Amino acid sequence: MTTLTINGITQQLEVDPSTPLLWVLRETLDLTGTKFGCGMAQCGACTVHVAGNPVRSCVTPIAAVAGLEITTIEGLAPGPDQLHPLQQAWIDLQVPQCGYCQSGQLMSAAALLASNSTPSDEDIDKAMAGNICRCGMYGRIKNAIKTVAGVQHFDPAPLALNKELTNG
C-alpha cells in the first residue's frame, strides 16, 4: 500500500511500489495529461511537481514520492475554469503545435517561475533544457515564459489584428 497525494487528493494505492509514478498517473488514475516520451529522463514529457520541484515521473518510483505533494498538469491551474498564467500565455502566444510535449513544458516552466520570478534567458534555457519539443516551438515557449515573468511585454498587435474573430 502506497499513499500518494496528487493534486490535493490523498489516496492509498495497491500498486508495486517500484512502479514509476508516470504509469500510476496514466493507467491507475487515468490522469493522462502527463505524457510518456522516452522512459529515461531524456525528454521531459512526463514532468510533474513533487514538493514544488520538477521531477521526471518516468524514472521516479512511487515509493520515493509517497506522502509528498504531487502536482500534475491537471492540477496546475489555481481552480476549476481557471488557468495558470503560463497556460494563458501558451494560448495567447499560440505555443503548442501537436501539443504532446506541452504538459511537461508547462510544468517545468511553472516550477522555474515559482522559484525565480524574473528569470534571465540563461535561467530559462537551463530550466527548460530537459524538455524536448519535436515540433520545435522553443522560441514561443521562451517568449511565453518571459511574458508571464514580466521580463518581456507581450505585444499582442501582430496576433490581435483580429482578436474579435477569436473562436472559443
Partner 1 sequence: MGKWSRRAFIGAGVVAGGGLLIGVAIRPGNRSEELSKHVINDGETFLHTWVKLDSDNLVTAIVPHSEMGQGAGTALAQMLADELDADWNLVRFEEAPAVSGFANYSMGQAILMPDAEVPSFVMPSVDGALIKTAQMLDLQITGGSLSIRSTGTYGMRVAGAAVKQMLREAAAQTWNVPLDEIVARNSVMAHEASGRSAPYSAFAELAAQMVPPSSPKLKSVDQYNIMGRHVDRHDLPAKVDGSAVFAADVRLPNMLYATIKRSPTFTGSIEKLDETGARSIKGVVDVIRLASEEVSSMFGNFTFSESVAVVAEGYWPAKQGLDALKIQWSTTDNNAVSSATIFEQFARDIGASVDRGSDVQQGNVPQALANAATVIEADYQVPFLAHTCMEPLNATAVVKNGRCELWVGCQNPLGFRKSVADALGFDVDNVILHNCLMGGGFGRKSRPDYAIQAAQIAAQVGRPVQLLWTREEDVQQDFYRPAIMSRFRAGLDAEGNIIAWENTYVDKHDPFEASLIPYAIAAQDIGHVSSPTHIPFGAWRSVAHSHQGFFTESFIDEAAAAAGQDPYQYRAALLQHRPRELAVLKAAAEKAQWHKPLPAGRGRGISLHSSFGSVVAEVVEVTVLDGELSVDRVVAVIDAGFAVSPDGVAAQLESGVIYGLTAALYGEISISNGAVEQSNFHDYPSLRMPESPNIETHIINSGATIGGAGEPGTPPIAAALTNAIFNATGKRIRKLPVGTNLS
Give the x-and-dash track for 44-73 against partner 1 (CB under 8 A): -x--------------------------xx
- According to DSSP, the residues that pair with 2 across neighbouring strands are 13
Residue 126 interacts with ligand FES (CB under 6 A): yes or no: no
**Distance between CA 73 and CA 102 in Å, rounded?**
9
Residue 152 interacts with partner 1 (CB under 8 A): yes or no: no
Residue 89 near residue 148 (C-beta atoms within 8 A): yes
Residue 55 near residue 10 (C-beta atoms within 8 A): no
Residues 6+ positions from 10 with CB-CB distance below 8 Å: 3, 4
59: alpha, beta or left? (left if phi > 0; alpha if psi -120 to 50): alpha
Which one of ligand FES, partner 1, none interacts with residue 56, CB within 5 to 8 A by kind?
ligand FES
The count of chain residues that interact with partner 1, using the rule CB under 8 A, is 68
Residue 54 interacts with ligand FES (CB under 6 A): yes or no: no
- Return the residue of 4, 43, 110, 111 that touches partner 1, per CB under 8 A: 43
Rounded to the nearest 5 degrees, what angle is found at the Cα of 50, between the Cα atoms of 110 and 72?
60
**Span near partner 1 by CB under 8 A; candidates 21-29, 49-57, 111-119, 147-155:** 21-29
**Distance between CA 8 and CA 132 in Å, rounded?**
28
Which one of ligand FES, partner 1, none interacts with residue 46, CB within 5 to 8 A by kind?
ligand FES
From the CB of 25, what's the least distance to ligand FES, in Å? Answer: 11
Q: Which three cell numbers stand for residue 116?
A: 525565480
Residue 96 interacts with ligand FES (CB under 6 A): yes or no: yes
Residue 142 interacts with ligand FES (CB under 6 A): yes or no: no
Residue 134 interacts with partner 1 (CB under 8 A): yes or no: yes
